[in-house]
Chain A
């Protein structure tokens, strides 16, 4: 790059003979598709979710998004400069992390929860491993897991409810918790369009599907991961549904409820922490889907997406090692 730039500068100043340079092949590259464009794609794909969170939670969502994005950018600037590296906020990866943290928090969480989650996400989730591309765990989920365990009373399923809140949605129980603890079913219509309480970004299945499809069509996210997660959850929930005699309600409840679609399209597809090959991605997706259902059906938590993704992140290097593709012609 620097070499070419210099040539260009010289050319501008003295319009003499062309100045030639040499470089090893290939001499062409696809300049349209860059890492920054991938991140912008993610930001665009998150728009329906952000819009839905603003519609449902109003100023709670505005506050949470602002806190997390600002804290993430500040964290990135702080920790990267502590490492003595050039701060690159313009690659948008910190902004994406911030938005995903905000969308995964309850509207009721106080300001310090989002701030701490963001700083932990960037510092311990990412920069400590060597920055963008080097982290093992999804940074946003590291941050969220940290606050979930540190502030159990502010992040537990019950904390989502606040009858004193000015926004209607927050006065209800989250659909996953309502069903798990009191067996109160939320209408599928509400789950699909997102007229429920929950983490800011997880309520609407439709918004997640719209944004996620955009990501897969742009090939910024690999379709294998969401497809295999959704299929696995559908099969396991189908079995649970069948054995409970629920006539499909339980199946749709598990597909459209909770953070499943949000996580499948936006969190599990983080390329850094998911396997490289198609087959590896399918193994990863099946693992996430199975763990989600294991936690949802048999543990004390109503939702298990975050832990499922973190556990599969830990297995990703192993999956990569198992799925070294065989080159063409390898007997």
Chain B
């Protein structure tokens, strides 16, 4: 049905199915390998890469400065105060972790659901996940008042014979995030092993051969290897799938378990997960659109991918919108004064603008436009949209953290929150860190899984299968 506005002569559309193609026609094993591997193996580092890397490096340096000052002076350099004792650090933590979700979802859940189109984007989406978790993981560590004692959150045997307090959701966070980070890294690395083998074989430099050789763990591409590889991938996907749901669920417990109106909500777990996927796909788009342009990957990352990601955003955005709607409804339907006042204050209090920012960026703009395929496949539009959604999702966390806290139970202790330059520097610094890591990734690691793309080529399939699969 969605094909009505496209003519059948459109080269982007597969005439057999009427859907957009996952891979542009005319690809071969060789061309795919060359295309992807050469991005890494070229000895010439482009000027653009160097410029971006210096920007990222500057940002990461700023982060280092901000964190150093933080350790020297204390968390008081941030805007957190009474009653808003959590601020940018927690907002950014939740935001970055949310972004990470798309990678795991793409690599694990879509793998299990046999969504072949995911193969083009899963590698860099997973890399994005890991770097986002790195940025996210930084915040809980540095936001505590005495960071040198942050390890007390881990249950380790010690002479004091003291254990963490297992009723605290912050402790659950420690387990959830560290598990998530571990699985993500392992899954990503396992997926990379065959490609590292390819790189080892193709690189001309001795050093490269040595390093890629180490990383490829002796991959020779024989059938036994492939069999084990497939099994490991499936098992890891099975392990990672519940994590997609559990991580953000546990993070939402940080809020939902508290008694604060605006936090104490049973709807938080699904709404947080949906929000995370929403922002994660937005971030994948933010990265994919420039990448395919710069590295001329239009043949591998096609409009089909952009379109599909738009659809996922539409779906998750809808869930998020339902969550917002339910919050408002329940604040009235519960007949609880606390809830009602919280919602009134969220909308019309002194920081009410942040709520309307969130509604505009997360619901009003995306959910009215993403229905149209023409716009979903418009790269400029989707790029801007991805930025809007990520802004909106940041505001969602801001609204949850700040507007629930600054006017809570006792009116005498109401306050406000105004971020300081150190808050902004730390937040902006994590972008620098993320950018630096991501640039290193695309420079040294094949950003698209060659072997998985090759599996999708018609040449890799039995004839009847190929027709069935719609290629």
**A, B from the same assembly:** no
**A residues with CB within 8 A of B:** none
